[in-house]
Structure formats: C-alpha cells, structure tokens
Chain A
C-alpha cells in the first residue's frame, strides 16, 4: 500500500523522464543535440521577463480549464467539450465588453467574467442534459458543441461583431482598455488571472475532498450503479459537475479575450481545452499536480517557438514532447494498475 501511495505521489516524473529520453533519441536521429535543443526551449520559455510572463499568461486559462476537468473526471465524465466551453466563455465576455458600458472598470470586468462563466456553464449544461436525458455520450455531444462554438465565433466576427472598418475575418475591434483585465508591464499577463487560477485550484480541491458533493462525484465516477444504490442521484450530479467545469473553462475563455488578446479572435482558444485534458491526465487526476504540469506544458509550447529560430528544428517538437509524454502516461498507468492488481490477487 505504501509503495502505491508513494508511486501515485511521484507519478508524473516517470513518464516525463521517459518522454524526454524518447525525444532526445528522436533528436539524435536528426543529428541535433538534445541538450542544445532543450536549452533553447528553456531559454525560449524563461529567457527573459517578457518570455516568462508570456508563459504565465498562457498558463492561467490552461490551469483554469484543467481544474474544471478535475471535477468532470472525478465524476467519470469525459468532457471533451471543454474546448467549446472555453470559446463560449470568450464569446460571452466579448459580448459584455462590446455591448455594455458599465460605470467602473471593476463592474465592467466583473460582469464580463460572470458572463463568461455562465456561457461556459450553459454550453457544458447542454452536453450534460443531452447525456442524462438523450443518452448522448458526453464525448460526442461535446465534440459537436465544440464545432458549433467555432462556427459561432466565425459568424460573429465576420458578421454582427465585425469591426466598423469592416472586411477582416480575424477578429472584432479591440475592447476599450477599461474592459480588459489589468495587465502586468506591457505584457499579455494579468496577475488577476493567476489569482483566479489559484483560487480555483484551492476551491476545487476542497470541494472534491471535503464536501459531500465531492464524495458523491467520486462514487459516481468509480461505480455509477453502486453509487445509485447507496443513494446518489446521478442526473443532478452529472449536470452540476459538467456546469462547474464549464464555468471554469468559460473563465479561462474570458482570460483569453481579456488579457492574452484584447478582442474576440478566430481561434480564440487555440486548443487549450484539449491541452487541459492532457494536463489532467499527466497529473494523474491529482489537483496539486495540475498547476505544475500546466507550467510545464505552457513552457514547452512557448519555448518551442524560439527553438525554431535558434536551431532550425521545427517548433512542433514541443507538441511531440507533450504528446509522447501523455502516451507514456497512459502506458505507465496501465502497467502500474496491472502489476498492482496481480500483487493484490496473490495476497
């Protein structure tokens, strides 16, 4: 038992190391020096202040979405629709930013954030009701809603929310400065987004560990029928879990439009939702690992942009590294489960 608990603590280290080794091998095949490449990546991520701030700015929405996914994973739900929920959050925040002009920046930003959370929760709620009432697996419902969210964005920026000068398919006009999150030193990073992410982590960890609701989700995720027999009503909890995740993803979407960009853009999420799924899996569904893994992902992805400039290697190396890592996670988790299962049988 002790070994098992320790292993679950140290969990992500093994697949990360394995992925680094694998990627090094790949680099050697192309006659590139792994050390130089990783160094270039590191410099690209943390080389100077603006780069570090960029990593942090990318980190906040990623972490918010990943924290939301902790809830749905605990309840045994595959909320692939998280990408669409981020987008809806962006759209809802943009709507408030474009259409409402509230007297103080505080009220303005609060209203945007609230709208974003509602938008994300609504989008998740649709997938949840499709699941509980229509028998539509949340994976398929989520994928469909992801596409709809992208189409809705494209429609808005090329139609009703087109900038007055017209024409461009790239985004809305920039929001007024008072409608944006306060940013740090001319960067895309808002300290407020970081605070929100940490609050979200703390609240969700406490919710999942300390409340009756969290216990119900855990039971549902592990065995829905036994949970039902013990008295857990699955429909309500499934919808609630999805909506909580959607609200956090929507909050992430608000950070994307209000600090990373300053307007609603064509690919506003840029796949952060899917990355968040990988973050949670790599974190072995443990809340305390999520912020660290998210920093790592954010650094790898931001760092690989300057990798190309310095070493002629394509920036997709970052993607390869993270992708391989998740494959190793899935591989190791199965091997681990298999070994433990055998040991327990013998006992």
Chain B
C-alpha cells in the first residue's frame, strides 16, 4: 500500500513536534525514520497509526484520504503499529491475547484462533507456544506475538518503534528476516523507527531523517554513516574561536581529578554499560555524545547516585563514594540537573522561593521567608529569570525554568552533571547559560554533560567521549576532532 503524508503538523503548546512533514512511502519497501530524541519521529508515527490526530495535514493511502480517530480504525484500514512498550496482557495466554480485539463474538472460537495463530507464526518462523502465558515470554517473543496479531488484523503497513531495544541477537535476526519477508515478498510497507544507524543501514531500503519537527533529508541506504549523522545533527561547524580558548586551557587543574571512574559497569534491564574508565579534572568541561539511550544517560545517573554500578569504583575528589546514595553525593558537592524540568527538578505548584529554600544545604526549623524571599529576588535578577519570588515554577516559560534550575545550584560544587543543558533554548539563552557555567569552572567545578546537540558538545567541551550501544569510545579533544571522526564514533565504529 502506498502512503502519502502531506504537510503533517502537530504542535504541543509552543513546541512544534511536527512542522509540515510530507513523505511518500511505496509498498514492498522498508523505510527507516531517523532522528534524535525530540525530532518528531514518534509523534509522526502516532499520527499515522491513529493514536493521536494531527493539527493539520492529510494522510493518503493508495491515493485515498483517510482519517483515523483510533488505532483500531487505523488497523482496519491496514495500518498497524508495534509500540516500543508492550501492549499485551501478561496474565493471559497467548491465544487469548491474540483473540483480544479480533473475535468480536461472545463465544470465542479458540480452536480456529489457535490454528490461525500457528499458521501465521510458522510463516515467519516464530516459535510460539499458543497456550503459554504471556508473562512467561521474553520481550522478543511478546513482540512476535504482537506482530502476528497486527498481521492477522489485516495490517498492510507496519510501523515498528525501536523494536530491537531489549531483545536478544537471535530474536533480532528473526525479526529482521520476517521484516524483509513481509516487505520484499509479500509487498507490505514497513517503517522502522530507530536511532540506531547500524540497524537502519542493515535493514532498510530508504531512510528519512527528521530534525526539530521537519524532514531534513532522505537517502537510499546503505550509505556512509557520516551522511546520516550529518543530516541528523546538521553540519558540525569546525570549532569556532568565538571564546578565547587559549585563556581557558590553563583553568583545568592538574593533579587530583574531580571525578574518577574505575572499571564502572552499569546493568539495567535495557542496556549494559561496559567498563567505563574516565577522569574529569577540576575546571574541565567534559561532553558525552551519542545517540539517545546509548548509555551516556545511565553514566550520568550513576555519577549522581541515582543508579548504583554493579562493578567498579567511583571517586569524587579522591574520596571513594561508590555506593553512596543520591542525597549523600549531593551533600558531598555534586549537582545533578536533569533534562525534564517539571518532571525532574522543579515542583509544579511550588513558588520560586520555596524551591530555593528546599535546595539550600542548610535549614532552620522555621523558614525565614522574608530572608529567602530577598535571596530569591537577587538570584532571579542575577540569572535573568522572568518571574517573581512568588511565581510558581510551572508559570515560568521553558527557558526561564532552565535558568532557574541553574539559579538553584549551591555555591560550592565539585561537580555539575547535566542532561541537555540548553535543550529548547534560543541561542542567546544558551550562550548565557554557558557563560554562567564557565564562571563555575573558574571556581574549580568540573562539568560533565550529555547533549543531543553535537554542535554544543564540540563547541563547549574540552574533551569528548562518545557512547554507542553501551560502549564508551576513546576520549577525543574537542579542539582536534572532526565531523568525520564523531560520525564514525556515533555509528559505533572505532
């Protein structure tokens, strides 16, 4: 089935998740949709699969305009989506799951369903025990079940959202083979949403790249990784000489590192981060690049004490803080600034002064409201937050929330950990935030940050490491690196 998306727009408040995207997808091909976190991939796919409506724009299937108020109606028209999260019912048997939403009678025909299910599963070499309970299955098997269910529902177009996260290598191979079979032999249209370049290169015929809600390029794959990286992150300009670099170098102290990680291993359900060895000197800015979910976020959370490493040692200014809780590490002089401002960092419904009181290291039984109010005013002024001490955090705009998070940082810090410090900010605000951070490094604070913006990483860091599938690359100097080098590292090629 041929799909045309015309001028799809979807805004969430001021955020343009999809800003006029037009695509044409032909039957019998596998398409890759690439883009960083927040590029608009998921929004676009959710619109196509009937999960949410577009603000404007058209969807044409074989030239016929369609509108899907619900995912069930999308499936009736032939569009099925395999979500990243499992949407099955763990206490049910496989066959019961399969029947759900299929057989609409009161009396369910289990025999027929079992036969259908076995036949479909064997066509794609899936080995499913139809009587087994869903919660006894692996993630990959549950995915196979969902895929079969969508196909039985008549899906001609299949959207797979990050399908390889958390499944084994064999299951991935099986999945990819079935995808090739579906597209190339059965003429279905497949869409793979991914940020893993290797997978797109291996599987897809054609890739679309989204950035900031817009389609920024398309290309037949396989192609050189650099080309995809370049489209995803825009051109990476050579590092500018806007800020006087030469002055900065001596700021980095030698001797005792601020942060030292020795053989750190982090295991989570989705990803294992292998043996990390890393030192950051006082006054140094260290950037962690890589596609979203490659392990850099886990490393940052480990440094904050939110995750505990399964192996290795974590030294903070020479002191062994391995296994310390978040609050203990916080009092030892580490600040963690998370990416989600109102989810992780600010409390909606609390005033700015209340935040400041909470964030201060010392407290009295009764809060000195008038003193805190004054302190808050002066910080608001210093950090150019548009608001008053009584403004609620959720009444601030995004940029002001971000500035306020920095205004909350304690005075003496050994290490600042940041996720996407300037995401969603305009150039001026971003520059301004970095100026504040540079002032911090003059006081000997080390900064470790992750960013989806390669430009920012190259521009702001002294040294850079790149994560790919849980493996950290060699450390490169920001001054000496190139697009080419980073592109290879992001693609996982040393």
Q: Across the interface, which residues of A come within 8 angstroms of B13, CB to CB?
A: 345
Whole-angstrom CA separation of A124 from B201 in the bound complex:
59
B350 at the interface (CB under 8 A from A): yes
0/1 per residue, B353-375, Cβ < 8 Å to A? 01101110101111101000000
Whole-angstrom CA separation of A233 from B358 in the bound complex:
11
> Is B344 a contact of A230 with CB atoms below 8 Å?
no
> Is A225 a contact of B367 with CB atoms below 8 Å?
no
Contact size range, B? 20 to 34
Q: Shortest Cβ distance from B1 into chain A, in angstroms?
A: 37
B369 and chain A: residue at smallest CB distance: A210
> Is B365 a contact of A212 with CB atoms below 8 Å?
yes
Q: Shortest Cβ distance from A94 into chain B, in angstroms?
A: 35
> Is A229 a contact of B344 with CB atoms below 8 Å?
yes
> Is B354 a contact of A218 with CB atoms below 8 Å?
yes
Known: A222-B347, A344-B395. A229 touches B336 (CB 8 A): yes
Q: Shortest Cβ distance from A145 into chain B, in angstroms?
A: 28
0/1 per residue, A212-227, Cβ < 8 Å to B? 1101101100110111
> Is B349 a contact of A222 with CB atoms below 8 Å?
yes
Known: A230-B347, A230-B359. A215 touches B354 (CB 8 A): yes
Q: Across the interface, which residues of B come within 8 angstroms of A219, CB to CB?
A: 347, 350, 354, 358
Between A and B, 20 residue pairs with Cβ closer than 8 Å are A210-B369, A211-B365, A211-B366, A211-B367, A215-B357, A215-B367, A218-B354, A219-B347, A222-B349, A223-B346, A225-B344, A226-B342, A226-B345, A226-B347, A229-B326, A230-B345, A230-B355, A231-B361, A233-B327, A345-B13
Within 8 A of A (CB), among B321-338: 326-327, 330, 336, 338
19 other contacts beyond A212-B364, A227-B358, with CB at 8 A cut-off? Answer: A210-B367, A211-B365, A211-B366, A211-B367, A212-B365, A212-B366, A213-B365, A215-B354, A215-B358, A219-B350, A222-B350, A223-B348, A226-B343, A229-B326, A229-B336, A229-B344, A231-B330, A231-B358, A231-B361
Partner-B contacts on A (CB < 8 A): 210-213, 215-216, 218-219, 222-223, 225-233, 344-345
Q: Shortest Cβ distance from B124 into chain A, in angstroms?
A: 39
> Is A231 a contact of B364 with CB atoms below 8 Å?
no
> Is A212 a contact of B347 with CB atoms below 8 Å?
no
> Is A228 a contact of B347 with CB atoms below 8 Å?
no
Q: Across the interface, which residues of B come within 8 angstroms of A231, CB to CB?
A: 327, 330, 358-359, 361
Known: A219-B350, A233-B327, A345-B13. A226 touches B344 (CB 8 A): yes
Majority secondary structure of chain A interface residues (helix, strand, loop or mixed): helix
Q: Across the interface, which residues of B come within 8 angstroms of A230, CB to CB?
A: 345, 347, 355, 358-359, 408
Most buried by B among A212, A213, A228, A230: A230
Whole-angstrom CA separation of A216 from B358 in the bound complex:
7
Q: Shortest Cβ distance from A193 into chain B, in angstroms?
A: 28
0/1 per residue, B482-493, Cβ < 8 Å to A? 000000000000
Known: A230-B355, A231-B327. A212 touches B367 (CB 8 A): yes
Q: Across the interface, which residues of B come within 8 angstroms of A218, CB to CB?
A: 350, 354
Partner of A212 from the list B342, B349, B357 (CB cut-off 8 Å) is: B357
Whole-angstrom CA separation of A226 from B354 in the bound complex:
13
Q: Shortest Cβ distance from A58 into chain B, in angstroms?
A: 34
A206 and chain B: residue at smallest CB distance: B366
Q: Shortest Cβ distance from A120 into chain B, in angstroms?
A: 24
Q: Across the interface, which residues of B come within 8 angstroms of A233, CB to CB?
A: 327
A346 and chain B: residue at smallest CB distance: B13
Q: Across the interface, which residues of B come within 8 angstroms of A223, CB to CB?
A: 342-343, 346-348
Q: Shortest Cβ distance from B388 into chain A, in angstroms?
A: 11
